[in-house]
Amino acid sequence: MSRYDELPWKFEPRPSTSQRLNIHTSPNTNARTIQNIKQCKHIPEADVEELCSKVIELLIQEANIQHVDTPVTICGDIHGQLHDLLTLFKTGGECPGTQYLFLGDFVDRGFYSLESFLLLVALKVRYPDRITLVRGNHESRQITTVYGFYDECVRKYGSVNVWRYCCEVFDYLSLGAIVGGKGGVFCIHGGLSPDIETVDQIRILDRKQEVPHEGGMCDLLWSDPEDVQGWAISPRGAGFLFGENEVNTFLHHNNILLIARAHQLVMEGYKEMFNQGLVTVWLAPNYCYRCGNIASVLTIDDDLNREYKVFEAATQDVGAIPSKKPAVEYFI
């Protein structure tokens, strides 16, 4: 456990972490950058590099499993749908007023992966104690070269540098979080692993690397709950499918009330399974501008009560889809 984990939650003084780490960010510069990102303005390469190195200095101090206090709003996959992320902040409350926990998959598929990721990074640098970022399976060099983030960076900057800076940040992201301490909510992008029985086992993993193809760290980012007995092979090609027994055992062993995870598209925005022992939350509405699904976030209050907020896609916004958009793909 890092000392950051042991600190009692403090809202004031907010930039404490930054001060400890000797980061000199002018709040004005950062506020301006945040505004520019929100408006999809071009962020100079040097600024991206600076943001990334600042956030790495913060993330390097974080534990594999971050401790997060209540109340907090837990959000699933964004996948580059910046306009929907902005809708979330408008309806769910801006950061830092509302505390957020993002369960990964910030990039790929959508048209604004870079802006979505930079916005979260900039908020993290500005309000390190009010936003927690957890790694998803798409925060990986290999996956981003297939699913769009790499191409987007090269298209926007003409070189791979920006993609490289971001990928370096990916390696430092936490693997999960526990909301509300003992008896609280275990948050992860994908799911459980046959190699991992306790949260303490996750705490000692060496996370600062590209997501491996197998093993505990891979499974946490890739696995899915399913109505299966025990563990089954995942059709995704990585991670496992895990059943109700595995969830119950994990909850019991680790004194956890609920597993909150993302990773799977849910048409209704969220889906509770296994006697409410696990929930999938999904943030990207009308995923890939094609799926027609609604989105949701989960707020955990001080008594660990769950409140789901659902919302629809920001389609009215003409900027949500760029004019020179890649074709939405069907078989035609």
Partner 1 sequence: MLSPLEKIDKAIRATDLDALACRHSANQANYITPQDPFIEPLILSYKSNLQYCSGYTNLSAGRTLRSVFGERKLPLINRGTYLRTKLIDQVTEEFIKQFDVCQILSLGGGSDTRGFRFLEKFERVIYHEIDFPESTKIKKVAILRNEKLKSIVESQGESVDITSKEQFQQLSPNLHTKRYHLQSYDLRKLSSGLTSEDVIPLLKHFDSSLPTLVLSECVLCYASPSENEEIIKFWKHQCRGLVSFLIYEPMSLNDSFGATMTKNLLQRGINLQTFNELPDLNSRLVFLSDICGLSHIKLTNMSDVGGYVIYSSSKKPWIEVSDMKRINKLEFIDEVEEIKLLFEHYCLCYAESSPGDITFEGVNEVRWESDDWS
Active site residue ranges: 138
Report the C-alpha gap between 258 and 248 in whole angstroms.
10
CB of 291 to partner 1, least distance (A): 6
* 143-162 binders of partner 1 (CB under 8 A): 143, 146-147, 151
Q: Kindly tell me which of 87 and 286 has the beta carbon lying closer to partner 1.
A: 286
Peptide bond connecting 44 to the previous residue in cis, omega within 30 degrees of 0: no
Q: Say whether residue 327 binds partner 1 (CB under 8 A).
A: yes
CB of 75 to partner 1, least distance (A): 17
Asked if 239 and 222 count as a contact pair (C-beta separation under 8 A), the reply is yes
Which residues, other chains included, contact 138 with Cβ-Cβ below 8 Å and sequence gap of 6+?
79, 104, 105, 106, 107, 108, 144, 147, 149
Q: Kindly tell me which of 99 and 293 has the beta carbon lying closer to partner 1.
A: 293
Q: Say whether residue 109 binds partner 1 (CB under 8 A).
A: yes
Q: Say whether residue 64 binds partner 1 (CB under 8 A).
A: no
β-strand 258-261 against 295-300: which pairing, if any? unpaired
Q: Kindly tell me which of 87 and 132 has the beta carbon lying closer to partner 1.
A: 87
Report the C-alpha gap between 257 and 32 in whole angstroms.
40
**Single residue of 25, 61, 142, 248 touching partner 1 by CB under 8 A:** 142
Q: Say whether residue 24 binds partner 1 (CB under 8 A).
A: no
* 226-285 binders of partner 1 (CB under 8 A): 234-238, 264-267
Report the C-alpha gap between 202 and 184 in whole angstroms.
17
Q: Kindly tell me which of 151 and 197 has the beta carbon lying closer to partner 1.
A: 151
DSSP string, 187-207: EESS---TT--SHHHHHTS--
Give the x/- contact pattern for partner 1 in 182-221, rule: CB under 8 A. ----------------------------------------
330 in the Ramachandran plot: left (φ > 0), alpha (ψ -120 to 50) or beta?
beta
Asked if 164 and 158 count as a contact pair (C-beta separation under 8 A), the reply is no
Instruction: Give the footprint of partner 1 on this chain (CB under 8 A).
Output: 108-109, 138, 142-143, 146-147, 151, 224, 234-238, 264-267, 286-293, 326-332
